Amino acid sequence: MKKTISILLMAVMLIFTNCVTTEKISPATSGEATNGDYELLANQRTTSETKQIFFCFIPIGGKDDETMKVQCYDKLLKDNAADGVFLPTYIITKTRYPFFGKTKIELQGRPYKLKQK
Residues 54-103: tens digit of each pLDDT: 877 777 888 888 999 999 999 999 999 888 888 889 999 988 887 888 89
Element (H, E) at 9: helix 2-15
In angstroms, the CA 92 to CA 69 distance is 9
| Residue 49 is assigned to a structural domain of this protein | yes
Residue 8 lies in a domain: no
Whether residue 113 has pLDDT greater than 80? yes
Task: State residue 31's pLDDT score.
Answer: 55
State percent of the chain over pLDDT 90. 21
Q: pLDDT at position 106, please?
A: 93
Structural domain boundaries, residue 106: 18-114
Cα separation, 109 vs 14, in Å, equals: 39
**E strands present in 10-97:** 19-25, 38-40, 44-55, 58-60, 84-96
pLDDT of 28 > 70? The answer is no
C-alpha count within 13 angstroms, C-beta hemisphere, residue 49 = 4
In a domain, 90, yes or no: yes
The pLDDT of 2-27, averaged and rounded, is: 74
Inside any domain, residue 1: no
Q: What number is the average pLDDT over the span 35-59?
A: 83
Q: Does residue 71 belong to any structural domain of this protein?
A: yes
